[in-house]
Chain A
């Protein structure tokens, strides 16, 4: 069964450092997303990406965040200067179509900022 894969599974970083989280969406999917989940809280939307550009972003996705699809398979989330409050699980998701249909999530990357 096709799946969304994410690396690393866990990253520990110092405050102010740059972090890149990587995702390989399902190969025939066209819509890509990043969500985050602070421990014990709900899953929050960060950004959606389609046709090599951001479709929509939330208030959380400020200038410290960026996304990129550098090649035909990877989809990355970069945090330029991490803050303590960036500590969370970051989930990548993909969907074949934009309207409806199952949104497939990866297993997540746990980011711990010290």
Chain B
């Protein structure tokens, strides 16, 4: 079946550098995407979302880019901080009351 996946399972960055976490999705019917952050022992925490009619959305220190042509989603974190260390999941859904489908996750480790 169609699924959401990630290119890199782990990413290590220096504190203060920018981080880019990538995600590939294969369901062409997906029209809504979310990035979640999951710290150890906790539930997923919403970071930022984007609809398919947009290709970029910015939040506080985070930017999500969507390339529908190649079915690629990325999360950029500016000036990465130790508190950003976590597992990051992309998730997608198609229209209607459909469930959110999660990708496999990328672990971000910030080196102080």
A interface residues, Cβ below 8 angstroms from B? 4, 31, 33, 35, 41-45, 48, 50, 55-56, 58, 91, 93, 98-108
Roughly how many angstroms separate A27 CA and B36 CA in the complex, as a whole number? 22
By beta carbon, the residue of chain A nearest B5 is A42
Q: Is the CB of B42 within 8 A of A108?
A: yes
- Summed over the interface, the residue pairs from A and B with CB atoms below 8 Å come to a total of 60
The 6 A-B residue pairs with the shortest CB-CB distance in the complex, in nearest-first order: A105-B43, A98-B97, A43-B102, A45-B99, A102-B46, A42-B104
Chain B residues closer than 8 Å to A55, beta-carbon distance: 97
A105 to B89, Cβ gap below 8 A?
Answer: no
Complex contact B105–A105 (CB within 8 A) = no
Asked if B44 and A43 sit within 8 Å, CB to CB, the answer is yes
B97 near A31 with CB under 8 A, answer yes
Which among A4, A42, A48, A105 has the highest number of chain B CB atoms within 10 Å? A42
Q: Are A91 and B44 in contact (CB under 8 A)?
A: yes
Q: Check if B46 sits within 8 Å of A103, measured CB to CB.
A: yes
Of A56, A91, A99, A101, which is within 8 A of B43 by CB?
A: A91
Set of chain B residues within 8 Å of A45, measured between Cβ atoms: 99-102
Instruction: Flag whether B98 is at the interface (Cβ < 8 A).
Output: yes
**For A98, what are the chain B residues with a Cβ–Cβ distance below 8 Å?**
96-97
B60 to A: closest C-beta gap in Å: 15
Nearest residue, chain B, Cβ from A100: B32
Contact B43 A42 (CB under 8 A): no
Known interface pairs A105-B44, A108-B43; A100-B49 also in contact (CB < 8 Å): yes
Q: Which of A42, A104, A106 interacts with B105 by CB under 8 Å?
A: A42
Residues 92-112 of B, flagged 1 when their CB comes within 8 A of A and 0 if not, give 010111111111110000000
